[in-house]
Amino acid sequence: MAIDVAFSIQANDYLDPDRAYDLYWSGVITDKKKFLCPGTDCTAQVTCANLDEDLLDMKVVPHYRIYGEHSKDCEVFNNKPLNLQYEDGTSVKEEKRTVDESIVDTFLLERPDSYYDEARSDRGANNQVFKKPEFVRRSKDTRLRETGSIGNIYSVRSVVGRYIRYRNDGSIKQRRVNILGKDIYYRSIFKCIWEQDLNELPSYPVIYYGWAFINRLPSGAGYQIKFKKKFKRGDDEYTSTIMIADRLIESYKIKKLVATRLEKINAQDKPTAFVFVYGEPSENISQAGNKYANFSIKNLDMIDINYDCPLPKEYNK
């Protein structure tokens, strides 16, 4: 039986798999088995599969698996909406909408300061005797829905994961994501760096992707990502790069995940990766006359680096 939200004993919060993954790699969560079914009086044990994996294949995304027995009153077991309340007595059910094709995800470009601070430390409780909180803590960042958690997302990695999920469940044609107040269909948010004409690109940021070389900078202060394919304008070609300084990695809460991937890729004989980046290419010409259309990022949530192409084969260019 699949569930889209579970109660984390270590974070003392109801989490969807995306946020659980973030909290694991930031060090707040340390055990993928310390989750419980969110149903009333239910202590069925739950594991978050792939939580501890530096995923080689995003097609196998983090997800919950129940491996314990439900209580007789558990909503999940009885296929009913969760009976949860906020601290002020308001029923979560009153704020719910059925998760259908009208739901629009919201991609925010910065996480709130409280994103990681909200989680509380593990009390070391045993799953079998742990009593879940009676109330759900209100959060402006996540709204519990009848079939899970549909809330704000904060990283390109999560956008890619949602795209794969919606494609697999057949709803991709209707699914949208709101960025900076603009609704964009998931199926049109990705642009391949493959001889794209700069004159024909969107006038707003989207997610660009493609195979790239990743090399350590000669200064030793970071990495250069250089896309294999180039942008074009007429007969002119524009090389596209991204610079990732070590200080940017150090300031990132999930730096363990990013650093692990960069180090593994850079150690390969041919250090290449499949890269997604949210932004707009900025044109410039070097003193040697070389033309560039580069991306600048201030936040590592705006980039995702993969060992292989996680998207369908038609994207693998």
CATH of domain 189-315: 2.40.50
Rounded CA-CA distance 5/3 in Å is 6
Tell me the residue length of the chain. Answer: 317
Per-residue pLDDT of the chain in tens (317 residues, 90 and over written 9)? 567 788 999 988 888 888 888 888 888 899 999 999 988 889 999 999 888 876 555 556 788 999 889 999 898 889 887 776 666 555 555 333 443 445 578 898 888 777 776 544 444 444 445 567 666 655 544 444 433 334 678 899 889 888 887 888 788 888 888 888 888 899 889 999 987 899 999 888 999 999 999 999 999 999 999 999 999 998 999 999 999 999 999 998 888 888 888 988 999 999 999 999 999 999 999 989 999 999 999 999 999 999 888 888 888 88
Range list for CATH 2.40.50 in the chain: 189-315
Beta-sheet pairing, 291-294 with 231-233: unpaired
Rounded CA-CA distance 16/21 in Å is 9
- DSSP 3-state of 270: coil
Query: Phi/psi of residue 13, each to 5°?
Result: -155, 160
Q: Report the 10 Å Cβ neighbour count for 65.
A: 16
**pTM reported for the whole predicted model:** 0.73
Beta-sheet pairing, 85-86 with 104-107: unpaired
- DSSP 3-state of 279: strand
pLDDT value of residue 99: 39
Amino acid sitting at position 241: T
Host H or E run for residue 156: helix 156-169
CA distances from residue 231 to 227, 241, 291 in whole angstroms, order as listed: 10, 11, 10
